[in-house]
Amino acid sequence: MKVIKQIGRFKILAVLALATAAFLVVKVWAGSPHLVGAATTSCSGDTLTVCGKESGLGNETQITVTISATASCINGGGNHPKAVNKTSVNGSFVVPVQNGHADYCLTVTAAFQPECAPPMTVVFTDVTVTDTVNNLGQSNLSCP
């Protein structure tokens, strides 16, 4: 009789151990999305490129990343000469996830009317990059 009680306890412990293991596997599979380091910006003429990396994305197949910024046409004296030489730039991109992480370099282009031609230069301010799927982001970036 004592052996039967011990076998019953063993079965209960085995079921509890399996249930705990299943819970942990689901928790690990779900991931823990986070940014890896700070996003970087680079600009060339009227284009802005934002690069970033996210990890802990679990079984996600893709994320959606948005970029928004203000582009200003600045004269050689460092001044913004006309209110019309300021524009918003936006972009939304689908980024694939591989092995639980996503690396991206995404580019948006500012369109000015009239054109921002030399000696004028384009400066990007209020740059924000956001993963809209996981609600992760960085703001107050600029370029240059």
Query: What tokens were used for 86?
Result: 């300021």
12 or 128, greater pLDDT: 128
Query: Is pLDDT at 13 greater than 70 in this prediction?
Result: no
Residue listed under structure tokens 């689908």: 94
Q: How many CB atoms lie within 10 A of CB 71?
A: 26
pLDDT tens per residue, range 91-135: 999 999 999 999 999 999 999 888 888 888 899 999 999 999 999
Which of 23, 30, 50, 28 lies closest to 109 in space, CA to CA?
A: 50
Which of 105, 95, 19, 107 lies closest to 57 in space, CA to CA?
A: 95
Cα separation, 53 vs 136, in Å, equals: 11
Cα separation, 44 vs 142, in Å, equals: 13
